[in-house]
Amino acid sequence: TLKETIQRALKKLGVKQLNNGTSTGFNSFGNGEVIKSYSPVDGELIGKLTSTTKTDYEQVIENAQTAFKSWRLKPAPQRGEIVRQFGNKLRELKQPLGELVSYEMGKSLQEGLGEVQEMIDICDFAVGLSRQLHGLTMHSERPGHRMYEQYHPLGIVGIISAFNFPVAVWAWNTALAWVSGDVCIWKASEKAPLCSIACQNIIAGVLKENNLPEGISNIINGNYIVGEFMTTDKRVPLISATGSTRMGKIVGKTVGERLGKSLLELGGNNAIIVTPDADLKMTVIGAVFGAVGTAGQRCTSTRRLIIHESMYTKVKDALVAAYKQLRIGNPLDENNHVGPLIDKDAVKMYQNALTKVVEEGGKLLVEGGVLTGKGFETGCYVQPAIAEAENHFKIVQHETFAPILYLLKYTGDINNAIEIQNGVNQGLSSAIMTNNLREAELFLSQAGSDCGIANVNIGTSGAEIGGAFGGEKETGGGRESGSDAWKVYMRRQTNTINYTTELPLAQGIKFDL
Ligand code: NAD
């Protein structure tokens, strides 16, 4: 049964049933109020933990600061070795961790396992990176001088994560931060806190086996108030925050006021452009998966389809037919495509959006609604919906974190579609479905998509860890994961060495004494 599966997973992950309100693990303690984690799948209480008080937080900072002093001295490839071992532990525990992700957050088991796979992949990436944290050398204008730059560890990296990727986002940050020589403090979402305990247990085991201090990886538990301990704290030079644009505006301002660094990964309003040259089958698969995968709770979920008028009816009919095939229910049952939303507040926002789009003049093609009856007792299961709408509608401009797809029509050439695509405040992911080279290249050009991610003949949703991940405008401008995203976790230093007996000044300035 589901209950047995989850009990088994929790046991394998060392997450105890915390009935006395205390938490497991050295650095996951807290003396604050009890947080209860309920599953959106069946409404069961999964476990309890205690939140972190300010006093607890001071202890965590001290642990992290002490750990940093030794960790930063370890050669980067040796830090990579620890990350390699962590990746191997994740391979061993992929199944139970994927199950916990699926049960606590509500995404399908396949997606839960996929999330753990992303953690493994970023570990592999980081291990290679640990031998490549390189700067440049430059030619000095002064004779007998050498100039180069190098990257040093930054210190404590504060990670604030959203509920929808309760484990991968942490790994994206922490694997890079660790090889960079940083130590981390993670505040996971209060909506999926047990996932963070499981992850902490895994890394704590690896650190212990290697006689390293657990302060290299720390977690703190609680809501935004606990997050604010870090955002206001100048002992935490970098805050990497993933979540809503609303949160990012507050965090960006708070960290900016103390001139700290922030890496912001915020909301999206992602669109697929469907041109007259699009492959219909690929379009439908890409759009449906993008819109209903994770019940529309991905930052890269497809929210808008911008369809050329000549394709409009064909795409619309195919989508409505495809939505009829969707099976909604327990996400741990692999027969189902769509699981629940995270909680009832999310359901309210979904219902509100459906009301709003009609009020603004839109038309529901697939009506949606909250499912009731056997298997749907939590009240968190909703029917994915499709609405015909216009881009300027307030509700279309807003990211509703639920499976609602807006169909928008364009006429004329591709530039009109690009204008609609870019005509929102967010700038995360975008895609074009076309077999026309000119359209595809224009979409990718400087006059094309203004998003951090732009795809051709792939949907908006999901990304590989090898590329830098993030978006522009109200998505926050941060980049994490692959490419050279590691640079944000390090401080750059320019070094000039004079190996002569003279002291020539730069720019030919003379200063004789
Ligand atoms: P949320 O903004 O409600 O919460 C995210 C995290 O921020 C939580 O841990 C929360 O406790 C913390 N937080 C909130 N206010 C804070 C404050 N003032 N100071 C410090 N911490 C604070 O987001 P959510 O509902 O958990 O997640 C959904 C949102 O996340 C969506 O908008 C989605 O697009 C976005 N998201 C973005 C990415 C990305 O990479 N761009 C990835 C995943 C999710």
Segment 439-472, tens digit of pLDDT: 999 999 999 999 999 999 999 997 899 999 999 9
- Asked if 154 and 180 count as a contact pair (C-beta separation under 8 A), the reply is yes
Q: Rounded CA gap, 174 and 192, in Å?
A: 18
For residue 13, give both structure tokens. 């992950």
Give the active site residues.
Answer: 265
* CA-atom Rg of the chain in angstroms: 24
pLDDT at residue 28 in the model = 53
Mean per-residue pLDDT over the chain, rounded: 95
224 lines ligand 1 (CB under 6 A): yes
- For 19-28, write each residue's pLDDT tens digit: 443 344 434 5
Residue partners of 507: CB distance under 8 A and separation at least 6: 141
Amino acid at 48: K
Mean pLDDT of 4-32: 70
- The proportion of the chain whose per-residue pLDDT surpasses 70, expressed as a percent, equals 97
**Interface ipTM above 0.85:** yes
Q: Rounded CA gap, 51 and 29, in Å?
A: 8
Q: Residue 512 — pLDDT band, cuts 50, 70, 90? A: confident
Residue partners of 26: CB distance under 8 A and separation at least 6: 204, 214
Q: Residue 29 — pLDDT band, cuts 50, 70, 90? A: low
Q: Residue 432 — pLDDT band, cuts 50, 70, 90? A: very high
pLDDT at residue 18 in the model = 53
pLDDT at residue 34 in the model = 87
- For 255-304, write each residue's pLDDT tens digit: 999 999 999 999 999 999 999 999 999 999 999 999 999 999 999 999 99
| 3-state secondary structure (DSSP) of residue 37 | strand
Q: Rounded CA gap, 285 and 443, in Å?
A: 21
**Whose CA is closest to atom 42 on ligand 1?**
299
pLDDT at residue 20 in the model = 41
Q: Residue 48 — pLDDT band, cuts 50, 70, 90? A: confident
Q: Residue 17 — pLDDT band, cuts 50, 70, 90? A: low
267 lines ligand 1 (CB under 6 A): yes
State which of 35, 244, 399 you would mutate to test the pocket of ligand 1, scoring each by most atoms of that ligand within 8 A of its C-beta: 244
pLDDT at residue 462 in the model = 79
